Amino acid sequence: MAERWSYPDGLAAHHVAPRRFGRHASPVSILVLGMLLALSMAGVLAGGPSPERTVTVPAATLRLAAPALLRNGEYFEMRVEVVATAPIKNMTLAVTPELWRDMTINSQVPAASEEAFENDAFAFHYGAMATGDRFVVKIDGQINPPLTRGTAGRIEVRDGKRTLATMPVTIRVLP
């Protein structure tokens, strides 16, 4: 005697019947994924080259290449360049604590000869610069989870404790 086949408990014929689009993904989900990929490749959701900003004063030129837009948890690189247009006895880079709040700074190359907290900023002393000397420091860091909207602060070039050039820096952070 032939047995009649039956569906397992909880399943019925309508569960296995062909659907309108078959068993493929919904076209809406494919469109949303495509839009997200297009926005990402256009740099709207972070990434892309770091804009370069320059401040020129009588004693020095300060250039900064740093990302303007990052995502939470992302690693980043900042490059700071100082060109002395007059002698500097003790070239010091100063970074306000607000700029690096909720960031982890992994490395700074070359390392400063002396590090301190002076005049409400992290101060990195690099020594004397003659007129025409060029100095570049590379800073690598990472955005920590609590930083969700962004951060703003200043990077300064100092001759010891005297400020020569100041550059405001704002980094927007997306979740």
Predicted confidence (pLDDT) per residue in 85-124, tens digit: 999 999 999 999 999 999 999 999 999 999 999 999 999 9
Domains, the chain, ranges and CATH?
52-174 (2.60.40.1510)
Q: What is the mean pLDDT of residues 9-37?
A: 78
What is the chain's alpha carbon radius of gyration, rounded to the nearest angstrom?
Answer: 27
Report the C-alpha gap between 30 and 77 in whole angstroms.
34
For residue 77, what is the DSSP state? Answer: E
Please state whether the predicted TM-score (pTM) of the whole model is above 0.85.
Answer: no
